[in-house]
Structure 1
Amino acid sequence: MRRRLINSTLAVVLVVIAVFGVSLVIVETRTISSSAQESVDSEAYRLVSIVDSRLIGGDPVNPDILSDESGAKRYAIIRIPGRRPIEIGERPEGGAIRGSAEGDRGETVTVEEPRSVVTAEVGRTLLIIGAVALLAVVAAVLLAVRQANRLASPLTDLAETAERLGSGDPRPRHKRYAVPELDRVADVLDASAERIARMLTAERRLAADASHQLRTPLTALSMRLEEIALTDDLETVKEEATVALTQVERLTDVVERLLTNSRDPRTGSAVPFDLDDVVKQQIEEWRPAYRSAGRAIVRSGKVGMRAVGTPGAVAQVLAALIENSLMHGGGTVALRTRVTGNQAVVEVTDEGPGVPSGLGARIFERAISGRNSTGIGLAVARDLAEADGGRLELLQQQPAVFALFLAREAGAHRDQPEGEEAAPRTVR
C-alpha cells in the first residue's frame, strides 16, 4: 500500500510539473527572445538619434565618438548616404538578433546581438525551472512517504486488532490516529471487542455457574440411585424413585434458571408460594449428606408463612447456604424462619469458625473464598435472590449467620402469631 500511495502521489506531481513546466518554459523562452529583440531595437534607435544630432550640427561621425556617446556594447553598422559604412564593435559569428532604425537624413543603423546570448539566458532559466521541479519532486516524495506511513501504519494496526479479535483476544486498544475515517473503524473494532469480551465473560460465567449449581442436584440424584441399587424393598424403590424424579425436575429447573439469568440476570418470575414447603424440601434433599457427615440440621421459627419469589430460585439459594455450611462450617446447622416488617426471613447458621474477618465485606464477590473453594456459590445465590426482588446478607461473621429476605404475600393470613414457632426438629 505504501508503494501505491507513493507512486500515485509522485505520478500526480510529475503530471503537474510536466504541464506547468512545459508551459513555463515556452513562456519564458518567448519572453527572453522578445526582451532581447526590444533591447536591440532600442539601441538602434538611440544610435540613429545620435547620428542625426551630429549630422545636423555638422559634427564629425566616427566609431570612437559614437561608442563613447552611446555606450554601445553590441555590434552596429551605420550607413550614411555618400559615406563609407561605420562599424562599432565586433561582428557576431553565426546567428544573430538584428534591430534596425532609419534617421531623418537617410542614414540607417543596424544593431546585432549574438543569438548565443539569448540561448544562454534561456538555458539559465531552464536550469532554474529544472531545479525547482526537482525540489518539488523531492518534496512530493517526502510528503507521499509521510502520508503513506500515516495511512498505512494505522491500517496495519487495525488489521492486527481485527486478527487479534479473531484469535480470541477481545481486549480493546483505544488507539486513535487523528484520521476521522480510520478513527471510526477503530471505534467499531473497540466496540466489537467489548461486546465479544462481554459475551465471553457471560459464557464463562454460565459455565462456572452451571458446573456449581448442577453439582448439588446431581449428587443428590446419584445418592438416590445408589439407594435404589442397594435395596430389594419395592416400596423403598418406589419412594426413592419418586424422590429421584423430584430431583430431576429440580435439575431441569436449575438449568432453565441458569439460562434465564445468563440472558438477563434481572429477569425473575416471582409468585406467592409456601416457604415451609421449600425449607422442608431442602432439608429432605440434604439429609443424606448430613447423615454421612455425622452432623445435624435443625429447623425452627415461624411456620405457615407465604412469601413472594420463585420457589426454584429460593431453593437454590438455600441449597447454596446449606452446602456452604456443610463444607466450611461445623456442628449443627440451623434454619430459622421469622418475620420482620413485611418481609419473610430465612436464616442459616452453624457452629463453625465463621467467616474470616478480612472476607466479610467481599464474601458475595465471585472467586472470593476463604477455604480453597470456587467462590461462586454465594455470588450466584445473591444474584438469584435479587432477581426476584429479595436480598441475601451476611448478618453475623462469627458464627456465620446468613439471611435470605423475601417479600411476604400481601394479605396472607396463614402465618402463626408472633412468638408461635415450630418446634425445633433435628435431622441426623
Structure 2
Amino acid sequence: MRQRVVRVALTAALVAVVLLAVPLALAIRSSLYADQRDTLERAALAAAVRVSPDYTTGDPVELPAPPAGGHLGLYDRHQRLRSGSGPGTGDAPVGRALGGEAVRGQSGGDLVATVPVSHAEQVIGVVRASSPADAVRDRVLAVWAVLLGVTAFALGVAVLVARRQARVLATPLEDLSRHCRAVTEGDLNARAAPSSIAEIDQVARTHNEMLRSLSELLRRERDFTANASHQLRTPLTGLQLTLEAGLEQQDDARLRPLLAEALTTTQRLHRTVEEVLRLSHPEEAPRPAAGQVAVTRLLEETRERWHGLFADDGRRLECGARELPADVRVPGGPVSEILGVLLDNARTHGRGTARVTVRDLDDALAFDVSDEGSVRGGPARLFDRGQTGDGQGTGIGLALARDLAVSLGGRLSLTRGTPATFTLLVPVRRADQESTEPADT
C-alpha cells in the first residue's frame, strides 16, 4: 500500500509539473525574447532621435553606445552603413524600415530592430540595432535549468510527503493485518488498536465488535459441547453397562438377540457421539489413524445393519467390491458413520435398489453409494446444513458426513444426479505398510 500511495502522489505531482512548468517555460522563453527585442527597439529609437538631417550632406553623426554585445548603426536610403557598427550593407529589416515602419525581426543569427529616420515626411535613413540570438537563448536555457531544479526539488518534497502520508495510512492497516493474523492463529483476545484515521478506526471498531461476538458465540458453543459431552456420555455408558449385565444374566433365548442388538445399537450411538464431539474440537482431537478395519468386514457389518431396514421398505441392498485386495484397511468408525448417513439418505429420499460399491484407486478407496432415485437442487448447496437428498427438510446428515470425510483426509461428493450417486474417497494403507511402521512407545 505504501508504494501505491507514493506512486499516486508522484503521478499527481508529475501531472501538476507538466501542466504548470511546461507553459511557464514557454512563457519565460517568449518573455525573454520579447524583452530583448524591446531593448533593441528602444536603443534604435534613442539613436534615431539623435540623427540630424544634415548627415546626408556629410555632417558626422554621434550614435549612443550599442546594446551589450550588439551593434547599432545608421543606414542611408541606399542601405549603406554611414555610422556606428553593423553589416556594411543593410539587410531585409533595413529595407522594410525604409518603407516608413519600425521592424522587429531576425537576420543572420541576430535579433534585429530597425527604426526609420524621417525628415519633411520623408525617410532619410534607418537606425539598426542588433544583438546575437545565442545570448538570449543562453539566458533562456539558464532560466529553464533553474526551473528544472525547482521542479526536481518539488518532486523530491512530494515524494517525502507522500512517503510520510503513506506511512501514516499504512501503519494502522498493517497493525490491523497483524491483529487479524493473530486472531487467525487462535488469539481471540487480540483487539485492534485505534489510530488517527477515522475511517480505519471505524473498521477496527467494527472488527473488534465482530470478534467479541464471535468469541461469545464460540464460548457458548464450547459450553454446550462440554455439557452435551457430559450429559450424553454418562447415560450411554450406563445404558451400555446395563445391557451388558443383562445380556450376561439373561437365559431367555428370545430376549438375548434383542439385548445383543440393543447393545450393538448403543455402542454404535456411543461411537457416533464421540465422532461428533471430536469434530467439534478439531484442534484438540487428531485425525483418526487409517488401517483399523478391513474393508470386507466393514461391508459385511454395513450389510447386516441396513439389510433389514431396506427389506422392511420392500427394497434391496447390495454391497460389493471390485477386485479389492484383502489387506486394505480403513478407519472403521468414521467410514461406517458416513456410509450410514448416505444409506439413511438413500432409504429416506431415494427409491429402488441401493448399492454400496468399493473401488480400489491404489492410494485411496472410492465408496459409491447409489440408488435408483434422483437428486434435485444444486450440488453446491447439497452439503449445506438444512439441505437433504430431495432438496427439502432440515437435515444435517450430509453436512456431518462431509465433515467426517474431511477429518479423514478424504472427500465426499455427489458424482451423479440420476441415478443418485454419492462417492466417498478415503486414503488407505495396506497391511504391509502398517507392518513396516515403528511401534509407538
Structure number with greater CO (CA < 8 Å, separation at least 6) is 1
Q: With structure 2 as the length reference, what TM-score do the two structures score?
A: 0.43
TM-score (norm 1): 0.44
